[in-house]
């Protein structure tokens, strides 16, 4: 079957996000999420004498739910290229460890000072501030242990593995997520221009989401053209994710979000709705998701989960 014929099976996820498509992607998400969670349990460090409490504090946040969007994007991108992920799970697990570390540190009293995350007490509320900082530090470091995991030897070409590590480190570090968070915190209660907000969004949330897709592309040994197309998809979906996050923060209910609604406004944080209003922001989210789907035009139906994930991100309510 050629790419073109296969493509005709792909739904148009935005204008026809039908209950059937919606059901398919939710099933896909649930299946992959379960795989990720099983692998996380498998690869987590053992409850070693003396530091049981430390391993527990890492596991507490890692097992606190969440949609596992980053590992699922990595898996879906690799599978869009026909890659079997069975023996490659340390890579998507690492992405979730980095995301979880960032949530623990973002919630700290010195940062966003949040007491609830996904409806549960935040890490520092349970284990104290010092232990929470260290749980985050360990999750971040452990991610690189997973990315260089001995079980991957002989399965990934080592030069590909080094490139995956570099991609993720760049996305999470000073020029990526951590730098974006630093600017976000520094911009509170300040009038910032739109380009500063764009910078924050692209780094704080976008960078790791894009890197997740790129890691999947590298695991799938993508050609240069396919790597670039998947990177484009990743950038659009990363932006869409943050725009929808901004919208949910204005529109959502506390029950759906598991945290206080309007907390960005309370903290005087710049958001898309603050610049463009809710209706125009929703249009921008839709356009961005469409651009993500358009980036996959050369991919066959194996990329449908990626297309549906884009639509899911647009339609999500939490």
Min. distance of Cβ 107 from a second copy in angstroms? 11
Residue among 24 and 133 whose Cβ is closer to a second copy: 133
Min. distance of Cβ 139 from a second copy in angstroms? 8
Min. distance of Cβ 217 from a second copy in angstroms? 17
Min. distance of Cβ 318 from a second copy in angstroms? 26
Min. distance of Cβ 151 from a second copy in angstroms? 11
Pairwise CA distance, residues 222 & 77, whole Å = 10
Residue among 13 and 90 whose Cβ is closer to a second copy: 90
126-135 contacts at long range (C-beta below 8 A, 24 or more positions apart):
126/57, 126/60, 127/53, 127/57, 127/60, 131/53, 131/54, 131/57, 132/57, 132/104, 132/105, 132/107, 132/108, 133/105, 133/108, 134/54, 134/57, 135/54, 135/57, 135/58, 135/60, 135/61, 135/101, 135/104
Min. distance of Cβ 16 from a second copy in angstroms? 39
Residue among 116 and 182 whose Cβ is closer to a second copy: 182
Residue among 178 and 313 whose Cβ is closer to a second copy: 178
The three-state DSSP-derived secondary structure of 177-238 is HHHHHHHHHHHCCCCCCHHHHHHHHHHHHHHHHHHHHHHHHHHCCCCHHHHHHHHHHHHHHH
Neighbouring C-alpha atoms within 13 Å toward the C-beta of 262: 2
Residue among 76 and 147 whose Cβ is closer to a second copy: 147
The residues of the shown chain that bind a second copy, judged by CB under 8 A, are 45, 48, 50-51, 53-55, 57-58, 101, 105, 108, 110-111, 128-131, 133-138, 140-142, 144-145, 147-150, 153, 157-159, 161-163, 165-166, 168-170, 172-176, 178-179, 181-183, 185-186, 196, 199
Residue among 45 and 277 whose Cβ is closer to a second copy: 45
Helix (H, G, I), strand (E, B) or coil at 156: strand
Residue among 21 and 205 whose Cβ is closer to a second copy: 205
Helix (H, G, I), strand (E, B) or coil at 153: strand
DSSP-assigned letters across all residues of 76-121 = HHHHHTT---GGGTHHHHHHHHHHHHHHHHHHSTTTT--SEETTEE
Min. distance of Cβ 165 from a second copy in angstroms? 4
């Amino acid at each position: 079957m050629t790419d073109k014929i296969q493509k005709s099976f792909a739904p148009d996820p935005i204008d026809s996000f039908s209950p059937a498509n919606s059901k398919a992607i939710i099933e896909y998400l649930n299946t992959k999420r379960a795989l990720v969670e099983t692998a996380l349990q498998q690869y987590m460090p053992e409850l070693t004498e003396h530091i049981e409490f430390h391993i527990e504090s890492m596991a507490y946040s890692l097992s606190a739910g969440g949609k596992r969007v980053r590992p699922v994007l990595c898996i879906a991108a690799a599978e869009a290229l026909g890659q079997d992920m069975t023996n490659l799970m340390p890579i998507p697990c690492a992405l979730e460890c980095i995301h979880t570390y960032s949530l623990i540190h973002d919630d700290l009293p010195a940062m966003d000072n949040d007491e609830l995350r996904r409806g549960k007490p935040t890490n520092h509320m349970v284990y104290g501030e010092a232990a929470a900082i260290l749980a985050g530090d360990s999750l971040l470091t452990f991610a690189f242990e997973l990315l260089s995991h001995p079980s991957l030897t002989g399965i990934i070409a080592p030069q590909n593995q080094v490139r995956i590590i570099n991609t993720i480190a760049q996305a999470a570090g000073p020029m990526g997520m951590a730098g974006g968070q630093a600017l976000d915190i520094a911009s509170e209660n300040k009038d910032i221009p739109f380009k500063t907000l764009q910078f924050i969004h692209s780094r704080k949330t976008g960078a790791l989401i894009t890197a997740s897709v790129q890691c999947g592309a590298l695991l799938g040994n993508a050609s240069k053209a396919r790597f670039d197309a998947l990177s484009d998809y990743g950038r659009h979906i990363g932006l869409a994710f943050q725009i929808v996050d901004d919208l949910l923060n204005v529109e959502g209910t506390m029950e759906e979000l598991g945290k206080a609604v309007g907390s960005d406004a309370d903290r005087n944080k710049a958001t898309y709705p603050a610049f463009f209003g809710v209706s125009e922001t929703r249009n921008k989210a839709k356009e961005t998701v469409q651009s993500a789907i358009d980036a996959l035009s050369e991919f066959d139906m194996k990329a449908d989960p990626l297309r549906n994930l884009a639509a899911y991100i647009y339609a999500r309510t939490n």
